Structures are given as C-alpha cells and as structure tokens.
Amino acid sequence: MKVLLRIRGDIAQYPGGDHAQLLQTRQLLEQLGFECILSPGLAPMPPGIDIVHLFNTTRIHETYLQFREAKRRGVRVVLTPIWHSMRAMRRFYSMLYKLPLFPIWGYMAAKELYYARRSRQPIFADATLRYRRLQREVIDGADIVLPNSQAEIETMRRELRVDAQTAPVTPPFFYTAPWDQQSGAGASRMDVVCAGRIEPRKNQLTIIRAFKSLRRTTHRLLLYGCMSPAHPDYAQAVRRELEPGWVEYRGHVRPEELASAYRKAQGAILGSFFETCGFSALEAIGCGVQVCISDSPYTREFFGGHATYCDPFSLGSIRAALESVLARPAPDSNGFLDAYSRETALRRMQEAYKGLMHV
C-alpha cells in the first residue's frame, strides 16, 4: 500500500521536531512493508495513494489544504498532531512581548499569513480567519490521530474542544543504539550538551547564564543546532555569551554526531519554554547522560523519574537543576530505553495502521 507523508513545505529550510517525527514514521512504515512517498507543501497528490499521513496542526495552513485534498479524493487520513499547549505558549509570549493578556490564538493565526508569504505560497485566508476551526476540522476529520503522549491528547481536547479518534499513544524512538555503560568507563565526562534550534523558545540565553553562574570552569557547555533566521537578534545575543573552552557553539550536526557528543558528556539540558516530547533529551538519556528538562505534563509523562526538572522562567531553577545533573553519575535507564525502543514504536504503529485497515 502507498502512504503519502505530507508536511509543511519549508521543512528543508526550517527543520524541527515535526520533521524528526516524519522521518521516524517513514522508517517504521517502510519496515512494516508500506511504500512511502514524501510530499512537503502543496504539490498535487499523486495517483494511487491509499493513505495520507499528515504532520503538525500548529501550522494549519498547509495541513488543512492537504487534508481537504485527501478527503475530496476519498483517501483515508492519519494525523500526527504535534499539539503544543496553547496555555504554555501564551505564558511564553506574554513574557517575550511583555503583554500579560497575550492574544495567543490571534497571534498564531496571523503567523499563518506570515509563513505562507515567506514560503511564497497561495494565501488561504481561512487559515488566519478560522484558525481554530480548521484545526478542529482536521483533528475531528482524520480517520486516526496518533498522539505522542496521553498528556497531548488531554491538552488538545481541553484547549481545542475536539473529540478525535485517537489510536494508542505512539511515542518516538531512539535513533541511537542503547548506551553501553562499559563504553563510557574511564571517559572524561565533563560537558553539558544543549541541543536545539537557537531561538527564544529554546531559552539558550538563560541556560548559558545559569551555567556560567555555577563557575564550573572545569566543565563546558556545548550548544548544538542551527541559528534561527527568524531571530537574528537572539542569535547575536547568544554569540556574545560564548567563551572558547567554556561555552561553545558547535552548529547543526547530524544525529550520529550529536549522539557522539552525548556519550562524552556528563549531562544534557533542554530548558525550552514549551515542548511536546523533547527529542534531544530522549536521545541524551539513550546515550547514558543525566538530563535536565523543563517541567510540564508532557515531559513528566515522558521522563518520569529519569530526569531533573526545571522552571524555564527561572534562572535559579535552571542553575539548581544543572548543579544536580553535574553532581550525579550516569543513570540506569534500561526500563526507560525499552519504552522508547524502535521495537515498541514499530508495534504501536502497526496497531494503529491495522486499526485503520479495518475502518
């Protein structure tokens, strides 16, 4: 059977967590014997497609148009929603723009116009004028919704008031092989790795300043990820905080290179203001390092007792979490790794698509 994987058209220029989930989904489906065709943006659907798998309901402009075409052709739709909590986003943007009652829904709707113009796509006015209604239509109209966590389902239903046909939770899996404790024996694990696109949401400036306040000059903070072209002032501010041999920016690297950095590190931190699952933190635990991550219902469900939590709005909280991470040995994460293995993800994906075949 042919599955068409559809995602926003600017994915090559602005890769993110939705792209990582698409690549993982393609790997799983191909292993299950499906023929997968990747089609970002708004190119017409090729003939002979049995299922359309969509990603990302925050960027609803293209997702809705892709959904509408699939429904018009009578093709079944699977949706990976990647639903960020709008409440968490409102708190972040309220801080960023110093507006206590930030109009988050209107802001996100207006950004759809910006994204469409940036990508030189036809403007679909309803993506701005009926932003929430289009999200509801896609989520309620999909044949199966594949959430990453139970917290995502509950947040989406509460904030958007939808009643989606959800499959069992389908968590992400590790790109890397499970870490061998013996392979790190004797290694000088003195680094803290922070991986993510350099932008305000990822909170690197506060992380750098919290790390510097520890005065641990025997340790290094290593930043990985592309500089967001949408936030040049923030990128420049991060560059000003760099200090060779102590706080360094290593750029965007391939997953295997990032895994190598994790295996040499003492800890990792993902102190974003909002996330869904936090791929980089999952990878870090898979490589045998202590992890500090922002506290939220999403991250609590994913990481449980296998992470140290921090408040991304508090430099002191981040500092204390970093101090804890640097003081503890590598965790025993065997049970955690089993829950996020390729085999587990493959089984969940098979269950979801099997259910779709009987719709």
DSSP state of 142: S
Phi-psi domain of 74 (left: phi exceeds 0; alpha: psi -120 through 50; beta: other)? left
CB 78 within 8 A of CB 138: no
Per-residue confidence (pLDDT) for residue 273, from 0 to 100: 97
CB 208 within 8 A of CB 235: no
Per-residue confidence (pLDDT) for residue 186, from 0 to 100: 39
The residue ranges of DSSP E strands in 168-319, in sequence order, are 191-195, 220-224, 247-251, 265-270, 290-294, 308-310
Per-residue confidence (pLDDT) for residue 179, from 0 to 100: 46
- Cα–Cα distance measured from residue 336 to residue 339, given in angstroms and rounded to the nearest whole number: 5
Angle at 149 between CA 319 and CA 34, to 5 degrees: 125
Q: Give the CA dihedral 255, 257, 259, 262, nearest 10 degrees.
A: -130
Per-residue confidence (pLDDT) for residue 215, from 0 to 100: 93
CB 166 within 8 A of CB 145: yes
- Kindly report the pTM of this predicted structure: 0.89
Tell me the HSE value of 337 on the side-chain side, using a 13 A CA sphere. 17
- Cα–Cα distance measured from residue 224 to residue 251, given in angstroms and rounded to the nearest whole number: 5
Angle at 173 between CA 158 and CA 181, to 5 degrees: 125
- Cα–Cα distance measured from residue 226 to residue 235, given in angstroms and rounded to the nearest whole number: 10
Residue 183, number of CB atoms within 10 A of its CB = 11
Per-residue confidence (pLDDT) for residue 224, from 0 to 100: 96
Residues 6+ apart with CB under 8 A from 265: 189, 190, 191, 192, 193, 222, 284, 287, 289
Q: Helix or strand or coil: residue 138?
A: helix
Structure-block tokens of residue 278? 């936090």
Structure-block tokens of residue 214? 């520890």
User: What are the backbone angles phi and psi of residue 315, rounded to the nearest 5°?
Assistant: -60, -40
Per-residue confidence (pLDDT) for residue 163, from 0 to 100: 84
What string of pLDDT tens digits covers the 359 residues of the chain? 999 999 999 998 887 889 889 999 999 999 999 999 999 999 999 999 999 999 999 999 999 999 999 999 999 999 999 999 999 999 999 999 999 999 999 999 999 999 999 888 888 999 999 999 999 999 999 999 999 999 999 999 999 999 877 877 887 876 555 444 444 443 457 899 999 999 999 999 999 999 999 999 899 999 999 998 889 999 999 999 999 999 999 999 988 899 999 999 999 999 999 998 888 898 898 888 999 999 999 999 999 888 999 999 999 999 999 999 998 877 777 677 778 888 889 999 999 998 787 65
Per the DSSP assignment, residues forming a β-bridge with 311 are: none
Residue range(s) occupied by CATH 3.40.50.2000 in the chain: 2-173+341-357, 181-339
How many angstroms separate the Cα of 101 from the Cα of each of 85, 94, 97, 107, 111? 16, 7, 10, 12, 18
CB 148 within 8 A of CB 81: no
For domain 181-339, the question of CATH label 3.40.50.2000 is answered with yes
Query: What top-level class would CATH report for the domain 2-173+341-357?
Result: alpha beta
CB 304 within 8 A of CB 285: no
Per-residue confidence (pLDDT) for residue 202, from 0 to 100: 97
